[in-house]
Structure 1
């Protein structure tokens, strides 16, 4: 059973923590395939239906969130409660995060909105881009409390992307980087002095000092797919979802490739490592002629099963 805003509005944390939803299948173990054979894959789907573009994994108040980006839906999940919709917007939503001042902020449409506990939203800032031709993508709060986020062209529009900064105090929006066709991330490294940005179309991850973001250097070159969402795990390792590569690349802070973790979806889009030892992954099914069992789903596995110590 999946709850919609009419039944869950305002109780994302309370209802989920209280186990208002039935728990999903346990992570790991075996499952029966269509041919009757038992699979020992560690991955388990957390969603019932696939998304064209699942994205934006975040941990908010102890609850895992992700988005159906083009559908404008924010989802929440806990091991005890399962998954539920918390907000439905009339525009694309890239991600939602808790701001330092406690507000739940999302990049949506072509700007920034605040999400209320009642399931609605308030427009906070616009980039000035036409939402018919551009949309938000990925982003994160910086250590100084500002929100960094990307925009990109929609559909068949000519590639045109940027990275922006929204000042949560003044409300001002500033274009930081105008020439990254599809920016993913940004994500901030421990210490807060450096930021990583995936330049998806050029197959590279960029690194810069937060104080001088225009002085970009290459953190990593990616082959066999395109770098999508970035995540810094509790140990400081950097996880990168490789769209089209059916894997997650794991880096040390100096850019050394530590591991490549296969996933059961062709187009993983974001990853999240939780403190209780799970790896959670979103994925996309759009553009696939014959989506597989996990394509477009959000799924999870025990960290120890996919990246042994």
Structure 2
């Protein structure tokens, strides 16, 4: 299978793709630029909002607009780009990173220091009433996160540690327990970044600096690899009307690239023999 450019771009750090079935669009962000992109892969056209801050991830809200994980904390973003920080709790030396909604409409997101200090990162959950709490601390760079199809297992990548961890989770109480390492990515071959879980319960993980995606079974077995035409694939999500197209974001940050290098674009893989699970809107 060959990755094709679905959405041309030059994102510094393209991240956080989420397929919005209600409008048939892919939402994704450029973290340091503060951009929230809404793209139509059928036409290649993108509409963008620009925030005055880093934005690690967004999810559509049931009431319209987005919930955003920003440098300050959690914010509400209107369709016109207006932003209201609803839950500010991070100092200037930290920012939010990757995030995703669970099936109960809660928004989970990681935080990290600007210089990625080990042990200073944390995982937070934002409730529909806009209260939040720390679910897990002691991380470095919390990144890709998702849940098993039955909602009973939670997955989280800690990029600098090179680990993809699995946890038991209680869907009713947003709790996680029994942390174990599902898989490791050797540092010499890249870092685990954003991830998504397919309908069979397998994980698709973008390997930053590794020029590839990997598919991992729920037991941690490596099932396959897909080479990517960019050095820093950053995250992935299933989309399209049948959720059978895997969209992959990428980044140009830190690389000396020519103008025609495709890094920073969003790629599509249309023949991965897997389908994804529907995304959930934030309930707040």
TM-score when normalising by structure 2: 0.84
Is it true that 1:84 corresponds to 2:84 in the alignment? no
| CA 1:157–1:280: 2 relative to 1, 3 Å | closer
Task: Give how far 1:181 is off.
Answer: 0.5
In structure 1, the partner of 2:125 is 165
CA drift of 1:302 comes to: 1.9
Alpha-carbon distance in 1 for matches of 2:48, 2:198 = 25
More displaced 10-residue stretch of structure 1: 205-214 or 237-246? 205-214
Aligned to 1:261: 226
Matches within 5 A, 1:261-280: 261-274=226-239, 275=242, 277-280=244-247
Match of 1:206 in 2: 165
The yes-or-no answer on 1:56 pairing with 2:16 is yes
Counterpart of 2:265? 297
What is the alpha-carbon distance in structure 1 between the residues aligned to residue 66 and residue 125 of structure 2? 17
> Comparing both chains, which one has the higher relative contact order based on Cα–Cα distances under 8 Å and sequence gaps of 6 or more?
2
- Counterpart CA distance in 2 for 1:306 and 1:236 is 10
Structure 1 gap segments, 5+ residues each:
1-40
**2:185 counterpart of 1:217:** no
Deviations 1:151-170 (A, max 9, x none): 1111x46442111111112x
Rounded to whole Å, the distance in 1 between the matches of 2:244 and 2:108 is 28
2:113 to 139, 153, 156: 153
Equivalences for 1:9-158 in 2 at 5 Å?
42-60=2-20, 61=22, 62-99=24-61, 104-126=66-88, 128-130=89-91, 132-154=92-114, 156=115, 158=117
Q: CA deviation at 1:210?
A: 1.9
Q: Output the CA distance in 2 between the equivalents of 1:181 and 1:136.
A: 12
> Structure 1 residue 220: deviation in Å?
1.0
Judged with a 3 Å threshold, the aligned counterparts in structure 2 of structure 1 residues 56 and 44 are, in CA distance, closer, same or farther, namely: same
Show CA shifts across 1:139-158 (max 9, x none): 1112333211001111x464
Higher percent of residues as helix? 1
- The count of aligned residue pairs is 263
How far did residue 92 of structure 1 move? Answer: 1.0
Residue by residue over 1:73-107, the C-alpha shift from the partner in whole angstroms, topping out at 9 and shown as x without a partner, is 11111233323233210011122213456663121
Is the strand fraction higher in 1 or 2? 2
Query: What SS does structure 2 have at the residue aligned with 1:202?
Result: coil
- Residue 26 of structure 1: aligned partner: none
Q: How far did residue 255 of structure 1 move?
A: 2.1
Q: Is the CA contact (8 Å cut-off) linking 1:198 and 1:227 kept in structure 2?
A: yes
1:56 & 1:138 partners in 2: Cα distance? 6
Contact 2:153 2:166 in 1 (8 A): yes
Write out per-residue CA displacement over residues 112-155 of structure 1, whole angstroms, 9 at most, x where no aligned residue.
112222222222212x211x31111111112333211001111x
TM-score of the superposed pair, with normalisation by structure 1: 0.78
Bigger Rg, which one? 1
Give the distance between the partners of 1:264 and 1:217, measured in 2 at CA: 32
**Cα displacement (A) at 1:56:** 0.5
SS at structure 2 position matched to 1:201: coil
SS of equivalent to 2:160: helix
